[in-house]
Chains A and B, each alone.
Chain A
Amino acid sequence: MARVLMKGNEAIAEAAIRAGCDAYFGYPITPQTELLEYMSKRMPELGRVFLQGESEVACINMVLGAAAAGRRVMTSSSSPGVSLKQEGISYLAGTELPAVIVNIMRGGPGLGNVQPSQSDYFQATKGGGHGDYFPIVLAPSTVQEAIDFTILAFELADKYRNPTMILGDGSIGQIMEPVELPEVEPKPPPKPWALTGCQGREKNIVRSMYLLAGPLEARNIILQKKYREIEANEQRHTEYMLEGAGVVIVAYGTAGRVAQTGIKKARDEGILAGLFRPISLYPYPKDALSSLTDQAKVFLVLEMSAGQMLEDVELVVKGRVPVDFQGWLGGRVPSPTEVLEKIREMADKYTS
């Protein structure tokens, strides 16, 4: 299929449509509003459900209802709106309902600003609502990846009956790039648990409430077993110029993409630097990162936040190799030159 020019937000919407999204519920907020606008045009044309809810809280609960009915369903927002959705995401996890949630992050905390940011990492990857749970989290760094990971998100959500999040920053949502839109034949698995009317069968119950300690513990043990399975099977990452790299940068999304340009410049100067770019933020790609501790002289974590993924890197590295960090706050995207300067500093300090 021929290449076309798409904005990240539109691309995620179109990918969801191709992945067989039956219903979308959303509420506008910059910088993800084009996603909602795109859905508002395309979904009715296809005879599918588009609904702008009265709030983010309403939308996530509509998602829960549609998911319980066995439909492929999505919602999207940006940071403050995703905070509002957290209660519903916890309920989705507790009821084991598949759904896709998109967060195009902006600067925070509070109302913050509309510039690109990565400061919702903790909220996304540690289970931002109440209770012991994890959504699966995928972090695109290009518009093409935004498309591919959205399609994957629907598959993973169904496979594990778990909320799955696309975590992009404002740049991913707003940037326009040439992409290929794949033809997808959505094959959602059978959903015998869905609430589809119980004529001729036992009734299904979808619930997260277990009043007694014993049954709730048993329920949680089942969930935890599922998370261990996800952690064993779904770690994803990509690498760039890691051959011989002593300075190993760990960065995801837009920070990862900027780092890539910085690394190329460093290599041109003869500095052996490379990139480990996590794609799944939950489950964190621990195994592959851990295997780099023999090679790395230093891990340099770069984030558009005060250092959130940094904690996951430290947990994996366990003090075996120094871990350094640089962050950009307030909705600012670093430049490749800033990355290059930091790489030079790391090379001087740890590899000479």
Chain B
Amino acid sequence: MIVNKSTRDLPRISVFTGPFGTGKTEVAINYALSLSGLDKAVTLTDMDVVTPYFRSREMAEQLGKRGIEVVAPSDITKHIHLPAISAQVWGSLQREDGLTVIDVGGDAQGARAIGQFKAFIERSGYVMFLVVNPYRPFNATVERIAKTLEDIETNSRLKAGALVSNPNLIAETTLEIVDEGHRLVEHASEELGLPLAFLCMEERLLKEGVEGQYALPILPLTRHFRPPWEE
């Protein structure tokens, strides 16, 4: 588990960025859930201005029931594709209590949305994670990750603090696939000189003894976005 009992040592703001389509939204939602029910209020801020479907705002009601406030543009934007962010974002960044998890859209284009909040984010204290899935073609090589990282840092005006390893083929993911993919992310972490914060793994794969195999914490993932034909 990522967070055991106390949120004392966590920076107030966690920012999830990364190349397009690496699972940032699922990771951000699950990360926020892992923080809820501890000693602080948790806010999930949807700052995705890139993706038209499968955004955290669609989970606002479900997450609200679990004590997580979702800050997102008004309801109507669930069904439109506007590069808009909610005015409430200012409030969620300036508050002094509670934890804020920010779900940022993919690539450098997505990261641009957050640059304007640099001053508030820095003042609060933050960690910016770069979520990596080595099974995404053409954005998984060390060179590509380095380039994306540089572009994201330029546009967000923030510094990435750690990588998050999210090796998966969605429903086809097996322990072998996680293991093989995670080794590539470890390699990227060494090459880039960026530490690895945690490894994401679907709950169904977390059988006894799995956690012990890895030297870093594991974030158990529950899939919130499922295609319409799965039921």
A residues near B (Cβ < 8 Å) are 3-7, 10, 14, 30-31, 33-34, 42, 113-115, 170-171, 174-178, 181, 254, 257-258, 260-261, 331, 333-337
Contacts and interface: CB of A to CB of B under 8 A. Distances in A.
Contacts, number: 69
Q: Which of A4, A14, A115, A257 has the most CB of B within 10 A?
A: A4
Q: Tell me whether chain B's interface is mostly helix, strand or loop, or mixed.
A: loop
Nearest to B169: A178
B120 interface: no
Contact of B21 (A7, A30, A178): A7
B117 interface: no
A331 B228 CA distance: 13
Given A5-B136, A174-B52, A261 B170 contact: no
A4 B172 CA distance: 10
B229 A336 contact: yes
Contacts of A33: 52
A177 B168 CA distance: 10
B170 A114 contact: no
A343 B80 CA distance: 33
Interface in B1-50: 20-21
A335 B231 contact: yes
Contacts of B79: 113-115, 331
Contacts of B136: 4-6
30 contacts: A5-B21, A5-B137, A5-B168, A5-B169, A6-B136, A7-B21, A10-B21, A30-B81, A31-B52, A31-B53, A113-B79, A113-B80, A114-B52, A115-B79, A170-B52, A171-B227, A174-B53, A174-B54, A175-B227, A176-B21, A178-B169, A178-B170, A178-B172, A181-B137, A254-B229, A257-B229, A260-B229, A261-B229, A261-B230, A331-B79
Interface of B: 20-21, 52-54, 79-81, 133, 135-138, 168-172, 227-231
A171 B227 CA distance: 8
6 nearest A-B residue pairs (beta carbon) = A178-B169, A30-B81, A333-B228, A4-B137, A257-B229, A174-B53
Nearest to A29: B81
Contacts of B52: 30-31, 33, 114, 170, 174
Contact of B169 (A3, A34, A170, A337): A3
Contact of A254 (B20, B21, B228, B231): B228
Contacts of A10: 21
